[in-house]
Each structure stands twice: as structure tokens, then as C-alpha cells.
Chain A
Amino acid sequence: MKPLLQVKDVAKMYGARIGCTGVSFDLYPGEVMGIVGESGSGKSTLLNSLAGHLVPDRGEVIFDTRADGPVDTVTMSEPARRMLGRTDWAFVHQHARDGLRMSVSAGGNIGERLMAVGNRHYGAIRDHAADWLGRVEISESRIDDRPSAFSGGMQQRLQIARNLVTGPRLVFMDEPTGGLDVSVQALLLDLLRGLVREMGLSAIIVTHDLAVVRLLAGRLMVMKDGHVVETGLTDQVLDDPQHAYTQLLVSSVLQV
């Protein structure tokens, strides 16, 4: 099997300070990779460098495109990268307001990606939006409401629907459960797990919450000070951490 994404020696600096450096890994279709570390460890910098929001200073991020096979997305043209960003890639932000148009109805939010790729049938777009509201457990009757009228958990689910509606092949998630109450987090995780399995999604999830990776990610990468300190199967890393920092991370969770 061909990897969907190949990350080769990616580095991003902020002046003299290291954002992240020396990161390499392959992600295969259907695989979910978790990236954990405390704040400042470089995990968000890495995610943004992979997703094209930041330009890495070094390295390649090769994506297996439908049309042309593996292409380095760092050096590809901006139009091509933006096209990727609204078709085969999706990005779920920690704060739903960063990923939603707050002044546009739920239906319009979900429909935007469809319209961006040329869908011009109002009825079909609306049916699609209604279907996706159902899939993220939002009542269809809310289709014309604006996200500002939604709870935090609903906003996050709407953001997920908006991202997944075009059937992306790779989803980047930045602390998807970050700002939510614990009870709401559990529901959202459950929903995400269902969608990932059902759609066979590949995903890269950045989080500081080990419960999230335990539930969603098959593989795990632990970062500290911009470096990857440990990688492996999630259960293996969490149950038998090798690196001192990972041990600390795991034990600190257990203490809670």
C-alpha cells in the first residue's frame, strides 16, 4: 500500500527558536495518527506546517493526490494547495468560530464546500446539508439557524460536518475537544470515532489529552521542545512508555 502522506524532515523556526524540527513519518490510508505534547512542544506548529497554514523552513510534505499521484504540497502552487484545502483535505480548528462562518446559517456553512467545487443545485445542496446535520446529531430543523445560536458542542459538530461534506481523504484536527465540557467531549469523541471508521478517514490529531488519542488514534507521536521523542502504536506507547518525558506525561494523567 502507498502512503497517503509522507512527511520528510520537516522543520519550522521562529527566528532562532525552534518551532519543530526533524519530523518524518508516513501516514497510510485509513490511519489515524495522534500527536501529543504539552503546550509549546511544537505540535500545533507541526500540524499547521503540514496543512499548509505555515510554510516550513525545511522538508517535504508529500500527498498522494487523486490526479497526479504523490506531490510535495510545500512547493505546489498556491491555487493547487487551496484547492486541496477545500476538497481532499479538511481542517478542524480547536475553536469552532475559527472554522465556521458565524454569520451564515448551518446549512450554508455545510454547503459552502459543495458550492466551492461547483455544485449548483440548491435542493441537492440543502439535502446534503440536512443529511450531514443528521450525521453529526444536529436536528434538521436547525438548518437555517446561525451557529451563534448553537452550544459549543453543536458548533464543533457543525464544523466537523462542514469539513467532511466533500468526503476529504485527510483530516487535520487541532485539539478538536479542547474548549468543551467533559461530558460534551465524550459525546464528540464517540461521534468522531464513528465517522472515522465509517468513512475510512485518515487523520492527524493534535491534542494534549491522552484520552483522545487512546480512543481515536492507532499511532502516536510524542513531542517535546520541537522534537519527536517517541513514536509507536498508541497502546504500546501509553502502556509501556520508553522516553522519560512520555513516562512523565502518562503518569501525570494517571494522577488526575
Chain B
Amino acid sequence: MNDYNFAYLDEQTKRMIRRAILKGLAVPGYQVPFASREMPMPYGWGTGGVQVSAATLTPEDTLKVIDQGADDTTNAVSIRKFFEKTAGVATTEETEKASVIQTRHRIPEAELTEDQILVYQVPIPEPLRFLEPRETETRKMHSLQEYGLMHVKLYEDISQHGAIATAYAYPVKVEGRYVMDPSPIPKFDNPKMEMAAIQLFGAGREQRIYAVPPYTQVVSLDFEDYPFEASKADHPCDLCGAEDSYLDEVILDDAGTRMFVCSDTDYCRTRRDAGHAGRLGAEAA
């Protein structure tokens, strides 16, 4: 792979992406078009996040890659290896040791700091897409702040289900201006988006980059009488006993016995190393 430039992309392309990132940071929540490149992994598998990471990484960085909260899911492994090979940067599974974290579908449980950048992989960046398929029209709706339709969707949810039936990719309003898709993170993670770290969002196939600068207001859309609720499975983690983390449900046997475990594998391991244990903690260790 020595024929390739540091972090795969050529410097010209990285500069182009950095300009888009800076513009995104200057206009929080606004989707900046960028000339996304073909990457050696398929569209929809994190090419946007990979391009943003490639333009963000420096040789001194330490990279962590998670998918579904875990470092060892196949796609996270594949992306981490890609940067080990093409950028030769240090990698880690420990959240606090990472300076750049690329993620798909989760925000780490540990609070992030001002020294960190969180890069999201985004499949569909347009929060209005499934209400209005046309890009020309959605761009106009954003520029004129015509977001009534977004609430119509939430209204329909409540009238049909008695509750807002959006469980992930729950739309937010950034700094009182742009309605933004937070990528398909569970709505449990939405409140964490007001954080100290820089959040960058890359959508490769759709050619969009957007960003949330540190300490930016991020409000999940709701109604006064049906306020937003960050929900998760009503269990503690069976391995580490955590009650505040998002849980995966794992089917254990043919009889359908289940266990609930932290989706954030690093968070779970850190807690167990510190001596915490859940219902099945001892056995599983």
C-alpha cells in the first residue's frame, strides 16, 4: 500500500474535504455538498466517514473505530485496518485514549473531551428525505426554514401509535436553525450530542458533510405535551451491571433465553475491570 498517500486520499482531495468540514463547522447542521470520491469500500459502508477521517487524521493521531458501539464488529475491524495500513496511525479500543473516533450508529458512553473528534458514518443525511424525495425541494425547505412537515410526521406517529414512533435517526434542530439527521444512532444517544468534542458527519454516496461544533445546542424535535424521551431497554447490563448504558439484546439459546449487554464494548470492559459485575458477570468473564 506504499503507493498510496497518507490516509489513502491525495492531498488535494483532503484539502477539498477540509474546506467542506470547516464550512460545516461554521454553519452547524447545514449539509455541505462535497465531491465525494470512490473509496475502496462500498458506498453505504462508511465511505463518507472514512473520507472525513482521512482528511482529519494526522500521523500523531490515535484512532478508534466502532460499529454498533463495538470495536470488534466486522465493519469496524475493516475500517480500522484500512487506516492502520494506509495511514499507519496508532489505534486503540479505549475511548479516552482516542483523538479521532469513527462511529457507525452509536455515541460512546464515556463523555468525550475537547481534544477529541467524533466522526459519524451517515447513510441518508437529509432528515426531510422520506417526507420529500426531491433534493431541490428539501434544500429550499432548509434555506427557508420550512420545517412544518417534520412535525407533521411526528404528529402522524402520535395519532397512530400514541407516541413518537421514531426510535433511531431521531431528528434534531441544531443551534435553533437547521434540522439535522443525527445518523441512525438510537434516540438514547441524542442528548449526548451537546458535547465538548467536535462532531463531524460524512455521507459519501450522498456527497454531504455536516458538523456540530463543541457545546452547540442540539434539540430533539417533539411536542410540548409529548416531550422527547431518550429510551433504552429497561435492564441493567448483565455483564457489568451498568444501568446508564445502551444495551444490546442477545439471544442465548434455542429456548430464547436472553441477556442484555452494553452495546459499548469498551465501556463494559472498563467497568468490569474496575470490579463491577452484573447478573451474569462472573460466568461471562
Are A120 and B224 in contact, CB atoms less than 8 angstroms apart?
Answer: yes
**B159 touches which one: A79, A115, A121, A143 (CB < 8 A)?**
A143
| CA–CA, A79 and B143, complex, Å | 9
Are A122 and B226 in contact, CB atoms less than 8 angstroms apart?
Answer: yes
Assess whether B4 is interfacial by the CB under 8 Å rule: no
Assess whether B148 is interfacial by the CB under 8 Å rule: yes
With known contacts A79-B144, A82-B144, A122–B152 Cβ distance under 8 A? no
CB distance from B83 to the nearest CB of A (A): 43
Assess whether B158 is interfacial by the CB under 8 Å rule: yes
**B156 touches which one: A82, A86, A108 (CB < 8 A)?**
A108
Are A121 and B156 in contact, CB atoms less than 8 angstroms apart?
Answer: no
Within A59-104, the residues touching B (CB, 8 Å) are 78-79, 82, 86, 101, 104
**B152 touches which one: A86, A112, A121, A143 (CB < 8 A)?**
A112
Task: Tell me which residues across on chain B come within 8 A of A117, comparing CB atoms.
Answer: 148
Assess whether B253 is interfacial by the CB under 8 Å rule: no
Are B144 and A125 in contact, CB atoms less than 8 angstroms apart?
Answer: no
Assess whether B84 is interfacial by the CB under 8 Å rule: no
With known contacts A122-B158, A122-B226, A104–B144 Cβ distance under 8 A? no
Determine the interface band of chain A, counting residues with CB < 8 A from chain B.
20 to 34
Are A121 and B225 in contact, CB atoms less than 8 angstroms apart?
Answer: yes
With known contacts A78-B144, A82-B144, A121–B160 Cβ distance under 8 A? no
Are B224 and A125 in contact, CB atoms less than 8 angstroms apart?
Answer: no
| CA–CA, A112 and B154, complex, Å | 11
With known contacts A105-B156, A108-B155, A108-B159, A113–B224 Cβ distance under 8 A? no
B147 nearest CB neighbor, chain A only: A116
Assess whether B15 is interfacial by the CB under 8 Å rule: no
Task: Tell me which residues across on chain B come within 8 A of A101, comparing CB atoms.
Answer: 152
Assess whether A111 is interfacial by the CB under 8 Å rule: yes
Within A104-134, the residues touching B (CB, 8 Å) are 104-105, 107-108, 111-113, 115-117, 120-123, 125-126
Assess whether B110 is interfacial by the CB under 8 Å rule: no
Judged by DSSP, the binding face of A is: helix
Within B137-154, the residues touching A (CB, 8 Å) are 143-144, 146-149, 151-152
Assess whether B215 is interfacial by the CB under 8 Å rule: no
Assess whether A144 is interfacial by the CB under 8 Å rule: yes
| CA–CA, A174 and B11, complex, Å | 58
A117 nearest CB neighbor, chain B only: B148
Are A104 and B225 in contact, CB atoms less than 8 angstroms apart?
Answer: no
- Could you mark each residue 39-62 of chain B with 1 if its beta carbon is under 8 Å from any beta carbon of chain A, else 0? 000000000000000000000000
**A115 touches which one: B148, B160, B224 (CB < 8 A)?**
B148
Per the CB 8 Å criterion, the residue count for chain B at the interface is 18
Task: Tell me which residues across on chain B come within 8 A of A143, comparing CB atoms.
Answer: 159
Task: Tell me which residues across on chain B come within 8 A of A113, comparing CB atoms.
Answer: 148
A103 nearest CB neighbor, chain B only: B156
Within B198-239, the residues touching A (CB, 8 Å) are 222-226
Most chain B CB inside 10 Å of its own CB: which residue of A78, A117, A125 = A125
- Could you mark each residue 143-186 of chain B with 1 if its beta carbon is under 8 Å from any beta carbon of chain A, else 0? 11011110110011011100000000000000000000000000
Task: Tell me which residues across on chain B come within 8 A of A107, comparing CB atoms.
Answer: 155, 159
**A111 touches which one: B143, B144, B155 (CB < 8 A)?**
B155
Most chain A CB inside 10 Å of its own CB: which residue of B156, B158, B159 = B159
| CA–CA, A111 and B157, complex, Å | 13
CB distance from B56 to the nearest CB of A (A): 35
- Could you mark each residue 107-146 of chain B with 1 if its beta carbon is under 8 Å from any beta carbon of chain A, else 0? 0000000000000000000000000000000000001101
A112 nearest CB neighbor, chain B only: B152
CB distance from B149 to the nearest CB of A (A): 7
With known contacts A120-B224, A121-B223, A126–B152 Cβ distance under 8 A? no
CB distance from A126 to the nearest CB of B (A): 7
Are A126 and B159 in contact, CB atoms less than 8 angstroms apart?
Answer: yes
Task: Tell me which residues across on chain A come within 8 A of B223, comparing CB atoms.
Answer: 120-122, 125
CB distance from A165 to the nearest CB of B (A): 12
With known contacts A115-B152, A120-B151, A120-B224, A105–B159 Cβ distance under 8 A? yes
CB distance from A53 to the nearest CB of B (A): 15
* CB pairs A–B below 8 angstroms (7 shown): A82-B146, A101-B152, A104-B152, A121-B223, A121-B224, A126-B159, A144-B159
A-side residues, CB < 8 A to B, are 78-79, 82, 86, 101, 104-105, 107-108, 111-113, 115-117, 120-123, 125-126, 143-144
A-B contacts besides A104-B156, A108-B159, A111-B155, 18 pairs, CB < 8 Å:
A78-B144, A79-B144, A82-B144, A82-B146, A86-B148, A105-B160, A108-B152, A108-B155, A115-B155, A116-B147, A116-B149, A120-B222, A120-B224, A121-B223, A122-B155, A122-B158, A125-B155, A144-B160
